[in-house]
């Protein structure tokens, strides 16, 4: 150090170390050798007991007047695992004169609304779907 130097020795710059960084540590081939093994962070799957799924079907009220969309007509009741019970809520079921079961959804005040809903949202998935009319709880067609 030069006697004319005005920088105090403790503030002298060291150009061999990074500015503001800690001292250089040589490469350690096993950086985790001195650390304890931490517990696994993977959460094990737990089996949960659930009740069997029972589809919730409603009967068409005796006083209902309006339109519904029949999305499925089956010769016998569908199994509880059928897709329509998981894809739709508020399903209505009615046993028809030929003993088949009609599965319906919606409650529309006029045929235009029902047909629009059918064509916009349901017809691609249920090509056999159709609009049915009720008057005072009785199916007209």
Q: For the chain, list the domains and their CATH numbers.
A: 57-139 (3.30.70)
pLDDT at residue 5 in the model: 63
Instruction: Please name which of 53, 95, 105 lies closest in space to residue 74, comparing C-alpha atoms.
Output: 95
pLDDT at residue 123 in the model: 95
52 vs 102, higher pLDDT: 102
Q: Cα–chain-centroid distance for residue 10?
A: 63
**For the segment 14-29, what is each residue's pLDDT rounded down to a tens digit?**
666 666 666 666 676 7
User: Could you report how far apart the first and last alpha carbons of the chain are, in Å?
Assistant: 107
């Amino acid at each position: 150090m030069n006697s004319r130097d005005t920088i105090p020795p403790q503030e002298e710059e060291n150009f061999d170390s990074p500015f503001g960084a800690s001292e250089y540590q040589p490469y350690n081939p096993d950086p985790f050798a001195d650390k304890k093994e931490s517990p696994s962070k993977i959460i094990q799957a737990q089996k949960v007991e659930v009740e069997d799924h029972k589809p919730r079907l409603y009967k068409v009220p005796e006083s209902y007047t309006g339109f519904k969309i029949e999305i499925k007509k089956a010769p016998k009741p569908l199994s509880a695992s059928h897709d329509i019970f998981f894809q739709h809520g508020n399903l209505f079921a009615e046993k028809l004169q030929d003993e088949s079961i009609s599965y319906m959804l919606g409650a529309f005040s006029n045929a235009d609304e029902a047909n629009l809903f059918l064509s916009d949202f349901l017809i691609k998935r249920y090509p056999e779907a159709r609009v049915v009319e009720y008057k005072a709880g009785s199916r007209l067609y």
